[in-house]
Structures are given as structure tokens and as C-alpha cells.
Structure 1
Amino acid sequence: MASKIEQSSPSVEIHNRQANGPVVILCEHASHHIPEPYHDLGLNPAHRCSHAAWDPGARTVAVKLSEMLHAPLVASRISRLVYDCNRPPEAASAMPQRVEIIDVPGNHKLTAAQRSARVEAFYRPFCDAVTSVLVEREAHDIPTVLITIHSFTPNFHGRARAVEIGILHDADQRMADAMLAHSQLLPHRRIQRNVPYGPEDGVTHSLKLHGIDNGLANVMIEIRNDLLATREGEDTLARELSQLILPALVTLGFEPSPREGKPDA
């Protein structure tokens, strides 16, 4: 499925910017790209493209949902090991020194200036891109629900995870509640609330900053990444997620189909 790249920069891309369905999608961990000046952060080559560096399959699912829902998508083009756009600058995990058993030498002993440089190069452009999309939609009176797309590893510290789809929320649980109320539409899936992560794990930064602070209903969707290992799997999960999202939008009073035409220039 071809995507419409409306804007691209070295650190962030925007798809379907002019789309006017009732959803805006974020994908903070869309890429494992590490810019050359960072020398692969000193990572073991076996870890360079592992789940520690990005969320495998998340970008593809996000792009597919962007098309299905006629939704703008803002995606980071930088590995979360360089800067995790779902973390605030003051968080140690924004530039983690270690992820599970994976050491990240290039993030050891960063100076305040080095951290600040990454914030300005990667985090600020991502946040500015999200803000610009939301401001444009508000100016054209387009109602918005914020959805972030992630994937997670099926094993964590040696323990298998049974959950397949996590529906995560922070203080605003409207969209999560609405999606979970329709989970019977996917009876073959193991779907849980705030699993495998929750607000206590510091994973809801984007929901709070771009959703709650703007008064927007919001939800974070986590997909177990072994389900996204093939193109067929990515297609299937995107379609299944749309089956939860669309009726949830109706429950919240949003028109799920895009309005005709584009916002006035």
C-alpha cells in the first residue's frame, strides 16, 4: 500500500498530512536508524536492529492504519536508542544506557550539552511536527483522537508474554475503554488493559503531552512483535486494529469515515 509522504526531514516524517479522518497517529519508535556521527552507539552488531533499537512492524502497521482511517501519521526516523520520542528530556530512558540485557556504550556518560543537542535534533522536531498537525486540524475544526502505535517483544527477561494486543492509557481512558468494550470482535486475540506496560512504566509521555494536555481522547496500542514478522501479519493486525478503532470512535461520538475533500488551504 503506497503511502502519501507529505513532509519529511532527517528526524521525522509526516504521512497524509491533509487527511481529515478523526484520528491522528503517532509512531515514536518507527525506525532503527542511527545517524553516522553516533557510530552505531557502540552497539553489538547483533543488537543494531533488535527490538531494543525500535519497534519492529509498528511503522508498517501505522502507515496502513493511516490509509485505512484517513489519518495523518507522524513518525520518528531515528532509533529510540539515540532519542526516545516517547520520553521527556529529563528522563534517563530518553537516551538509555541499557535496555534489558543490551548495553548502549554510546549513551554512557553523556554531558548535559550532548543530551541537549539530541533533544534539539530529534525530540523537538518530532514534537513540533505533532503540534503543527494538531494546530492545523484545530484551525479547520477537525475533531481528533490521538493514537500511538508500538510493538513489544514476546519475551521479557526470559518470561513469555501471553498478551497479544495491549490497550494502554493514562488519566484519560475514554478511547481505551471504548476499544476494550469491543474486544469481543477479536475473540481469537488476547487483549488486555495497560499490559505489557502502563503509566507507572513511564510509557505514556506522548499521550499526556499531545493528547491529554490538548484535551484529546487518546490511546496507546502495543502489538506483540512476533505477530508482525511477515507482511501478512502486519496486514492482519492493521485490519484487526481498525475493527476495534472504528466502533470505538462511534462510541465516543466521532464520525469514523473521513469527510469529503480536504481542509481549505
Structure 2
Amino acid sequence: MSQPAQRAANSQALSLPRFDGVVEQWRADGTPGVGETPAGVVLICEHASNTLPVDYPELGGDLGLDADTRASHAAYDIGALGLARGLAARLARVAGGAVLVHAPLSRLAYDLNRAPDHLAAMPPKSELHLVPGNQNLTPADRVARTQAICQPFHATVASEIAQLVARGRRPALIAVHSFTPVYFGQTRDVEFGVIHDDDTTLTMAVMMAAKDCGLDTRLNEPYSAAGDVTHTIRLHAVPMRLSNTMLEIRNDLITDAPAQDAMAERLAPVLAVALRETGAV
């Protein structure tokens, strides 16, 4: 890159907003706040929000989306944030504390569980939903969103993990997602999916512990690492050799706060058994 081009790129980066990951913490007794001991589990919710960067046209603004698309699973993982909070509060009691990092913006602005060169990072279409603001993006458009949304979020995750490691704790990483019960017209019967990347240890322990949880639980459904859905795990857990897994809950089971809390109550004991049996906590 020429010096003038580099200066222009640096100037653009300085003028862009930063959408850092949102950090919440729970003490060892399950109450919100920073505990005296380092947390033993980090939960990540990359698709927590359907908020759009409406004040920043350089990042797509409202993306030209209608209200129905903004409220749909295309824009975010319905119920996932409430579930993640419920799990964090409960797992904090067995892990000496918990940290949750979640996304401030919709995955249609940038899908934080995708690498910057992946088409789905800034998807022109999500299932049946066209995303007008993602049509014909230029390389500069993609760089701007990467700098403003992707990099700050993952820097937040990396920082939280590094601080725990520096305090002598190697936390388990659990990514929390939800999925739609009907996708491209096909009904999905699976209710609880547990997904692994290269390290299968914690995932298989969760599968074993979930046998009596009352949910249709399946390994690597409705997605698997072959579909590039484990980017966050690959980025943060694999290089640090941290225990990890990815959870997918069918979103019709967690549509409101009571349902999310009930699901957290059901799944937390499953995860606690798996974390203990693998020595992750």
C-alpha cells in the first residue's frame, strides 16, 4: 500500500466509532458484579443484539431493513442473550465466577462469528431476507465494518480472557446461540445442539450429561464446524488451549424471559457436570 493510501486508511480508522463487546460479570455466589476470585467460565453471545448502526451510514446505517427483518432471527439470535445471562449466573457458582461478553450490534451489520473474508460476515442475504445495505460492498466498506465492529469485539473477548489467565485461571469458553425452528421451509426437530471444533472434550461431556435433560439433543446440529460456525472458538479458545463448546437452542423454546430463565435452569446443571468431569472448573 502506498504511503498516501496508508495515511487515508489510518485516518478512516481513527474517525470510525468502536463497538466494543459488552461485558457483564458475576461473582462466585451468582450475584452480578466483579468477584475477588477470577472467573472460571467465559460465555460469549456473538448474536445477542438486533441493534443497527443507524447513526453511522459508513457502517451501513439501517441497512435498508424493514421492521419484520429487524425483529427476525436473521438479525439476531432470539432469546440467546437472556439464556446466556441465566447460565452465567448459575455457572458462576460452580466456576468461581463468570464473565459474559455479548455483541452490541446486529449480525447483519457484521457477523462476529465469521472471519472478515467470509461472505456471511456481511451477508447480502440471510436465509429468505435480503439485506439491501450489504449489496455490492466495496473493500473499503468491508474494512470499515471490520475495524469498527469486528476487531473491537474480539479485542474485548481477548482482553477478558487474558486478564483471567494472568490471574492464574484458564477459563472454559462457551458460545451461546439460538436457531430458528424452520429454515428454508424445513422443520428442525432438534432442540439443543452441541457443537465442537477440533477439541471435542467438553462437547462430548455435555452430550453425555444432557441425556436426561428432556431435550432432543444432537451433536453438531443444526450446524457444525464444517460450516465455519466456530470462528470465535477457533480465534480465542483453540490458540490458548481452553476448554470450549458451542451451544445452539431452538428459539421457540426461549422466546421470552420466563422461558429463557427456565431453559437456563435446565441446562446449567448439565453444563456444570460437564465442566467438572472434564476438569475445566
TM over 0.5: yes
Pairing of 1:213-228 with structure 2 (within 5 A): 213-228=239-254
- 45-54 vs 26-35, which deviates more? 45-54
Given residue 48 of structure 1, which amino acid in structure 2 is its aligned partner?
R
Q: Which residue of 1 aligns with 2:46?
A: 28
Instruction: Determine helix, strand or coil for the equivalent of 1:40.
Output: coil
- Is the Cα contact below 8 Å between 1:24 and 1:145 reproduced in 2? yes
Distance between the aligned counterparts of 1:200 and 1:158, measured in 2? 22
Pairing of 1:186-197 with structure 2 (within 5 A): 186=213, 188-197=214-223
Aligned pair partner of 1:55 in 57, 63, 77:
77
Distance between the aligned counterparts of 1:154 and 1:93, measured in 2? 20
Q: Identity of aligned pairs, percent? A: 38
Q: Which runs of 5+ in 2 are unaligned?
A: 1-17, 27-33, 93-97
- Measured at CA, do residues 54 and 105 of structure 1 come closer, stay the same or move farther in structure 2, by a change above 3 Å? same
TM-superposed CA distance for 1:45, in Å, is: 2.4
Deviation by residue 1:204-252 (Cα, 9 ceiling, x = unmatched): 1011111112111110000000001122210111111211110001111
Instruction: Determine helix, strand or coil for the equivalent of 1:175.
Output: helix
Aligned pair partner of 2:67 in 35, 45, 61:
45
Aligned pair partner of 1:13 in 22, 46, 49:
22
Pairing of 1:131-146 with structure 2 (within 5 A): 131-146=158-173
Given residue 120 of structure 1, which amino acid in structure 2 is its aligned partner?
Q
Does 1:64 pair with 2:57?
no
- Is the Cα contact below 8 Å between 2:53 and 2:61 reproduced in 1? yes
Instruction: Determine helix, strand or coil for the equivalent of 2:194.
Output: strand
Q: Say how many residue pairs are matched.
A: 246
Q: Which residue of 1 aligns with 2:238?
A: 212
Instruction: Determine helix, strand or coil for the equivalent of 1:129.
Output: helix
Q: Which residue of 2 aligns with 1:244?
A: 270
Deviation by residue 1:10-48 (Cα, 9 ceiling, x = unmatched): 442100174533210000000000011334201132111
- Is the Cα contact below 8 Å between 2:19 and 2:148 reproduced in 1? no
Distance between the aligned counterparts of 1:10 and 1:168, measured in 2? 27
Given residue 29 of structure 1, which amino acid in structure 2 is its aligned partner?
H
Deviation by residue 1:44-89 (Cα, 9 ceiling, x = unmatched): 3211121000001001111122221221011011000000000011
- Is the Cα contact below 8 Å between 1:185 and 1:244 reproduced in 2? no
Q: Which residue of 1 aligns with 2:6?
A: none
TM-superposed CA distance for 1:184, in Å, is: 2.2
Distance between the aligned counterparts of 1:236 and 1:21, measured in 2? 23
Given residue 53 of structure 2, which amino acid in structure 1 is its aligned partner?
P
Aligned pair partner of 2:113 in 51, 65, 86:
86
Q: TM-score, normalised by structure 2?
A: 0.85
- Is the Cα contact below 8 Å between 2:195 and 2:203 reproduced in 1? yes
Larger Rg: 2
Given residue 25 of structure 1, which amino acid in structure 2 is its aligned partner?
L
Distance between the aligned counterparts of 2:128 and 2:173, measured in 1? 32
Q: Which residue of 1 aligns with 2:13?
A: none
Aligned pair partner of 2:260 in 216, 234, 246:
234
Given residue 25 of structure 2, which amino acid in structure 1 is its aligned partner?
N
Q: Which runs of 5+ in 1 are unaligned?
A: 1-8, 256-265
Distance between the aligned counterparts of 2:119 and 2:135, measured in 1? 11
Distance between the aligned counterparts of 1:149 and 1:46, measured in 2? 24
- Cα RMSD after superposing both structures: 1.3
Distance between the aligned counterparts of 1:203 and 1:94, measured in 2? 11
